[in-house]
Structure 1
Amino acid sequence: MTGINYISDETFISTGENNVVLQEYRNKYQEPYMSLRSFPAGIRNCYKINVTNGTKYLIRSSFKYGNYDRQNILPEFELQLGTNVWDSVKLEDASTITNKELIHVPLRDYIHVCLVNTGLGIPFISALELRPLPNTSYQTQTGSLALQWRLDTGQIAANLTEYRYPDDVHDRFCTAATPKNGTHALYISWMDFDNSAEYFVYMHFAEFEKLQPNQSRQFNITMNGESLHEKVVPYYLSSSTIYSTRALSTGGQNNLSIFKAKNSTLPPILNAIEVYSVKEFLESRTNQADVDAITSIKSTYKIKKNWQGDPCSPLVNSWEGIDCSNEHSRIVSLNLSFSGLTGEIAPYISNLTMIHILDLSNNNLTGSIPDFLSRLRKLMDLNLEKNELTGLVPVGLIQRGRMVCYPYAVLWAGFKRKKQHAHCGDPFGVEVMQNSNQNSSLEAEGQRFTYPEIVEITRNFASIIGRGGFGEVYFGTLQNQTQVAVKLLISSSTQGSKEFENEVKLLVRAHHRNLVSLVGYCDEGETMALVYNFVANGNLQQRLSADVTLHVLTWKERLQIAVDAARGLDYLHNGCKPSIVHRDLKTSNILLNENLHAMIADFGLSKVLATESATHVSTDPKGTFGYLDPQYYNTGKLNKKSDIYSFGIVLLELITGRAAIIRDVETEPIHICRWVSPNFETIEIESIVDSRIQGTYNTSSAWKALQLAMACVSLKAIRRPDITFIYKDLKECLEIEMSSGRTQIVGNDDTSSSSSIRMASQIESETSSSSPVIISI
């Protein structure tokens, strides 16, 4: 028995289920492995363990299946430390204990150990152990160390005793071995697991014999023919470690030799040898202030989502309802709508200083709207609809514009031009009233401009920046120097008038960073105009056109545009209640800002589903040739999957650089789906991807995106994926592209938290030899 005391893991994690291995797999000498915690729910489940930053730790995770689920199927899953992949867990059999060990120096005062479901079975864990190590042990110049293998050389001899804790305070498995023939050397050979990895070798020595005055033990060590250490003398009953001072990266076989020195009377010994690979944990982590804020918000509202581990990283596992900036891992959007929130608006939100979008709608929040929201300088969209809030809206929010409260007609009244006589800095507010049933009109739904103001904004319609079936689009500037785009309706267009009203109503209701921003409108006499925030880089169709003279979009930029558009569409389909179907999604309706982030535009044809449970709405087929869902065209039944088809065409355009209808001079026009299909079936990715970016993209990322696009354009709507799935898959494509070390060149929740696994956490000084203490957290 080791004498190590284990404690329950229930205070370190809030998800998972407690299970025990079957009777035939139990062993009284393996008590910590008789129980385990499994994770049937969620993709990623994480332990949070407090540590001392800057201290070196041995972290060991152990897994014994024991056929706990009576399925007799060994699962495979991924182990992560924080935001980075630690290792893959593959079990030998149901009875063998699989250990994963890491030597790591945390940079924060906690670590996350996460288990990730990769689709090959339910993740589980039997034991998790942390032991502080002396910072002088296991020296490396960079990175953490993952154990590849450890050889307890002494166990070769049957009469030798195994030494573990407390004899070895670090609880390794050590004995001692000598050559069978005293004149011979000890030889150990092994092959590298990964030819691209770097390795460090650590050898441990301790003298177990009391040597007589006429006896001596001294030996030399070579590695791959080079001298590693000479005249080594092990200490009696005290361990010493010799290691390679520089990393090995032979990419093949390694040979270690330990042989008797010239004047030694005894043969060499070796107690244990360990080989560690260098792990460079490079994944960026969320800003600590944002982590602290969102963790406090989670605790305050008792949020039960997939909020495990780091909020932003890795991108594919970012927390539900949270969007982060790619460059600095800051939280920029928080959507907690329909989350059952109660109480007041949590003050911790004020610490999310980079937040652009905050959606707390459709909850049971009470109290007043706090003034700290007006001090969030980056906040652009605030949705507080359908709560029980009372009192005044802080003046700072009113002056900022584009804020939505319930009922929005009351709040928007404060933005109308006729109210602008209020003196600057007056402490006025707009009262938020409850249970109002009044219907909003266009007049109460946005900032209303007069025709002379439209003329002034556009400088008498001097600069046309776009044309469409609705009318022409002009560049303009507001009095505060904000740049805008003004879409002017052709006065004779009856259909355009309906689309105008439809777009105003929808854009006042829907606010998201990946939807175009409506500043206001003009409805005066025969003049109808929509005023939007100006988007500097035009539309996606222009940027993809073959004769473009601007910068050719890279594969990473195309994926980011796809992710942005999917996020905006996901908001329309699932963030709005009832859902909104865009009905005219195409590259010319996807606008790009100065950072090439995408925003969906043109909601004139959009439809609101009648209720949250409605599956479709019957309507005359409308849309754009090439993007129109064939099933919708044939049946007249419009639903979310109609948008998915259009989105699939947009994806194909991003991948190929070609239009929805390809019109080559030498051939008849052909639909992009028909053009892609032959090469897709023969898996010829290089024949499909835009020739202008050949050799500059990760093929795995491109192939995954292409498969997703082809699923979206399935002729049967039922086979098309939901936009939430598409969004997550596209984020994964982007993650693959961003994390690839080098480009591949082409052509050349409600779970039990009862006691389950045992967690050992040894709190001791570097020189302590006392038993690890029991921790109750």
Structure 2
Amino acid sequence: MIEIFSIIHRVQPQNQDGFITLDCGMPFEESPYTDPDSGLVFTSDSTLIQTGKSGRVDKAFDKLHIKPYLVMRYFPEGLRNCYTFNVTRDTTYLIGAMFFYGNYDGTNTYPNFDLYLGPNRWETIDLDKYKNGTWVGMIHIPRSSSLDMCLVKTGTSFPLISAIEIRPFGNNTYGPRPGSLSTLRYFFNDSSSNIRYPHDLHDRIWSPYDQEYEEWRVINTTLSISNPGIYETPKPVLATAATPLNDSLPLYIYWSTIPPTAAVYVYIHFAEIQVLQANETREFDIYFNGNSNYSAFSPPKLEQRTITFSAVQCPEGFCSLRLERTKKSTLPPLINAIEAFSIIEFPFAETNQSDVAVIKNIKDTYRLTKISWQGDPCVPPDVSWEHLKCTYKENSSPPRVTSLNLSSQGLTGSIVPSIQNLTQLQELDLSNNTLTGEVPIYLAKMKSLLVILEGNPDLCSISSCIEKEKKKFLVPIVASIASLLVIIVVPLLIFVLRKKKVSSDKTPTKSGPVEDGGDSYESEPSFLTKNRRFTYDEVTTMTNNFERVLGEGGFGVVYHGLLNGAEQIAVKVLSQSSAQGYKQFKAEGNGVDLS
């Protein structure tokens, strides 16, 4: 995390294919615009998030920041608010975000909140510590085709964000690496301005190293510097360098890692930018964390040379680099730039992508706008979506959706077919909506599924939804589809179809569509909430020896029956392919589990 001041490099815009550059909180009608200082084309974030409000910094801060950081989006509602981006799976991306409070609300209360990438916490944003704004960056490889960036409220202050920048990074400079990498890039200059796009075509941000407590000075050149190889370090970054104030002393560079236990990758960029005389030599030894790593190193003349250190832990999170001249050298050591990347451990796997696709399809189909339905549905568990439950194993295993309760949510239209792709679903509550059409047969084929459809009077209980007869039956109010598979040896299983009495001057509530006749009956508690077993002879009596066929589903024929001579039911009989179970049931006299 670095503090941000103004970035002054007025240049002509170049190709920005694949760039996502958002000015958060900017009105849609003002989008897009080209920032004259960076040449970057900014767009409004309004099409990528449906929550939050727009704010503007106090005018006293206008001179400190360029236009993209003068407005922000803040989030007074909800615990988690998320942006969702379409990305290319298994592609390296540079991801950055900018945060600047600027007393937009006039309270001088600097926010503190968490920033998440997908289901994992990326960083705690403490704007009281970074009153002039802060920027965080990461190298990340998405494992799916979508990427969520979420702001999570952790106290009483409201999260906010000023800008989001996502760049595909085509080359393999920093990979492959385990995990994601938190970025830190320094170059050595006596200015306060950053170097980025278009000098860096990938839009990496290079910040001047803070020399407040360092005994070094800056040297520079106007000569052209060659930067061959894969690093593509910007030439303005290589054109300046640091050397010690006292030529006889070593040059020290320090930085910290977060967390202190993080392993780091280090890239140190060198180039000789002074014209040496015949009797001059620059040669030095390189020590990283006190260990001698390279001896008698001489930077090549006006050409970049990079030295790397891989997966090194710094003692107590404090990294040190020492460049010490050799006895042969007539000139002190120098350094042009350094990149240090801390490995970010992201322990939580995203929710199973098939489940995510279904849940988002349900959200879109029924136009559900709940503020909690943002980001990953299941993780982290403390901010998972309302109305659903998930199963969690170890952190590295994708959670699965096991329960979906959409009762009384104003759902209209038919039951979405994608529900059948929630293969671990155990409970589905669609009661008390105004759903129409047929009850899909696939619900009966889903393992261990309990379906609640009470209160949808226009749903049909047979697949055709065409009036095969004038009388109609009630759809299942609570149907334990689990029974269909758990007691596979039992030939009879259930959709209980109940009629509910509604007086002629009242609108039916908590009732399903009626398949048989215009009469209605007083609603009674469904016996499906308890386990009941029936002998084969009892079921034969209920169905009048399986006389009347209602329809045929995936497991077999459905017959009409009467329970206790009054309550209408439907009895499903296993097909011929399950004849062995049927014969076993009949022979042993076992009952049917109606649960």
TM-score normalised to structure 2 length: 0.64
Distance 2:165 2:520 in 1: 59
One of 515, 521, 525 as aligned partner of 1:438: 521
Where does residue 270 of structure 2 map in the other structure?
205
Q: Is 2:112 the partner of 1:76?
A: yes
Kindly indicate whether the alpha-carbon contact (under 8 Å) linking 1:289 and 1:351 is maintained by their aligned counterparts in 2. Answer: yes
What residue is the counterpart of 1:303 in the other structure? 368
| Contact map agreement 1:393 1:429 (CA 8 A) in 2 | no
Q: Which amino acid in the other structure matches residue 114 of structure 2?
A: E
Matched, 1:187 2:268: no
Equivalent residue for 1:358, pick from 405, 428, 448: 428
C-alpha separation between the residues in 1 aligned to 2:317 and 2:534?
77
Q: Distance in 2 between matches of 1:252 and 1:448?
A: 64
* Paired position in structure 2 for 1:476: none
User: How far off is 1:339 after superposition?
Assistant: 1.3
Instruction: Tell me if 1:87 matches 2:123.
Output: yes
CA shift, 1:125, in A, is 0.5
Residue aligning to 1:154? 189
- 1:19–1:38 contact (8 Å) kept in structure 2: yes
**CA offsets 1:190-228 (integer angstroms, 9 cap, x no match):** 566544333333323344446677766443311133222
| Residue number in structure 1 paired with 2:451 | 382
In 2, are the aligned partners of 1:339 and 1:363 still within 8 Å (CA)? Answer: yes
Q: Is the CA contact (8 Å cut-off) linking 1:222 and 1:229 kept in structure 2?
A: yes
Find the partner of 1:126 among 154, 158, 162: 162
Higher relative contact order (CA 8 A, sep 6+): 1
Paired residue for 1:171, among 173, 197, 205?
Answer: 205
**CA distance in structure 2 between the aligned counterparts of 1:294 and 1:354, rounded to whole angstroms:** 13
Q: Describe the SS at the equivalent of 1:119.
A: coil
Matches within 5 A, 1:326-725: 326-327=392-393, 328-379=398-449, 381-393=450-462, 432-433=513-514, 438-441=521-524
Indicate if the aligned counterparts of 2:194 and 2:205 stay in contact, CA closer than 8 A. no
Contact 1:409–1:440 under 8 Å retained in 2: no
Letter in 2 for 1:295: K
Task: Measure how far apart 1:101 and its partner are.
Answer: 1.7
- Indicate whether 1:55 and 2:121 are aligned: no
Query: What displacement does 1:302 show?
Result: 1.3
Contact 1:17 1:39 in 2 (8 A): yes
| 1:6–1:207 Cα change, 3 Å | farther
| Number of equivalenced pairs | 436
Please name the residue that 2:150 is paired with.
114
Residue 291 (str. 1) matches residue 359 (str. 2): no
Q: Which runs of 5+ in 1 are unaligned?
A: 396-404, 416-422, 455-530, 534-777
Match of 1:40 among 59, 67, 76: 76
One-letter identity of the residue aligned with 2:42: Y
Note closer, same or farther for the CA distance 1:194–1:367 as it changes in structure 2 (3 Å cut).
Answer: closer
In structure 2, which of residues 336, 341, 346 is the aligned counterpart of residue 276 of structure 1? 341
Task: Give % identity.
Answer: 38
Q: Secondary structure at the match of 1:78?
A: strand
CA 209–120 in structure 1, closer or farther in 2 if over 3 Å, else same: farther
Who is 2:292 aligned against? 227
- Choose which of 358, 366, 384 in structure 2 pairs with 1:318: 384
CA distance in 2 between partners of 1:112 and 1:426 (Å): 42
Q: 1:437 to 1:42 in 2, by over 3 A?
A: farther
CA deviation after TM superposition for structure 1 residue 233, in Å: 4.6
Shift of 1:363: 1.4
Does the CA contact (< 8 Å) of 1:293 and 1:351 recur in 2? Answer: yes
The TM-score normalised by the length of structure 1 is 0.50
Residues 77 and 120, structure 1, Cα contact 8 Å, conserved in 2? no
Question: 1:191/1:52 Cα in 2 relative to 1: closer, same or farther (>3 Å)?
Answer: closer
Answer whether contact 1:154 1:272 (CA < 8 A) is retained. Answer: no
Per the TM alignment, residue 257 of structure 1 is displaced from its structure 2 partner at its CA by 0.9
CA distance in 1, matches of 2:193, 2:301: 16
Using the TM superposition, give the Cα deviation of residue 91 of structure 1 relative to its aligned residue in structure 2, in angstroms. 1.2
Structure 2 counterpart of 1:166, one-letter code? P
Instruction: Identify unmatched segments of 5+ residues in structure 2.
Output: 1-36, 208-236, 465-472, 484-490, 499-511, 539-592
Shift of 1:79: 0.9
Deviates more, 1:215-224 or 1:330-339: 215-224
* Aligned counterparts of 1:43 and 1:260: Cα–Cα separation in 2: 55
Q: Is the CA contact 1:146–1:277 (under 8 Å) kept in the aligned structure 2?
A: yes
Q: C-alpha deviations, 1:302-356, integer Å up to 9, x for none?
A: 1112111111111111111111111251111111111111211112212111111
Q: Point out the more displaced range, 45-54 or 183-192.
A: 183-192
* Aligned position for 2:14: none
**In the TM superposition, what is the alpha-carbon distance from 1:124 to its structure 2 partner?**
0.6
Change (3 A) 1:31 1:258: same
Q: Partner of 1:373: helix, strand, or coil?
A: helix
Aligned position for 2:232: none
Per the alignment, do residues 294 and 202 of structure 1 end up closer, same or farther by CA in structure 2, a change over 3 Å counting?
A: same
Report the equivalent of 2:8.
none
Q: Quick one: distance in 1 between partners of 2:494 and 2:367?
A: 38
Q: Matched residue of 1:293: which SS?
A: helix
Structure 1 distance, partners of 2:304, 2:355, is 45
How far has the Cα of 1:378 moved from its partner?
3.3
Matched residue of 2:244: which SS? coil
Confirm or deny: 8 A CA contact 2:452 2:476 kept in the other structure. no
- Shift of residue 122 of structure 1? 0.5
How far apart, CA to CA, are the structure 1 residues paired with 2:141 and 2:496?
53
Partner deviation per Cα, 1:646-683 (whole Å, 9 max, x = no partner): xxxxxxxxxxxxxxxxxxxxxxxxxxxxxxxxxxxxxx
1:740-759 mapped onto 2 (5 Å cutoff):
none
Structure 1 residue 177, shift from structure 2 partner: 1.6
The amino acid of 2:200's aligned partner reads D
| Distance of 1:40 and 1:235 partners within structure 2 | 55
Q: Which amino acid aligns with 1:89?
A: I
Q: In the superposition, relative to structure 1, how do residues 245 and 437 fare at CA in structure 2: closer, same or farther (>3 Å)?
A: same
Q: Specify the SS of the correspondent of 1:256.
A: strand
Superposition deviation, residue 112 in structure 1: 1.2
Deviation at 1:123, TM superposition (A): 0.5
Question: In the aligned structure 2, how far is the partner of 1:410 from the partner of 1:190?
Answer: 62
| Cα distance in 2, alignment partners of residues 55 and 298 from structure 1 | 28
Structure in which a larger fraction of residues adopt helix: 1
Counterpart AA for 1:177 = A
3-state DSSP of counterpart to 1:291: helix
Aligned with 2:135 (options 77, 87, 99): 99
Structure 2 CA distance for partners of 1:66 and 1:315, relative to 1, 3 Å: same
Distance 1:172 1:151, change over 3 A: closer
Cα distance between partner residues in 2 of 1:167 and 1:103: 19
What CA distance in whole angstroms lies between the structure 2 residues aligned with 1:228 and 1:409? 73
SS at structure 1 position matched to 2:189:
helix
Query: For each residue in 1:587-622, what CA deviation from the matched residue of structure 2 results, as whole angstroms up to 9, or x when unmatched?
Result: xxxxxxxxxxxxxxxxxxxxxxxxxxxxxxxxxxxx
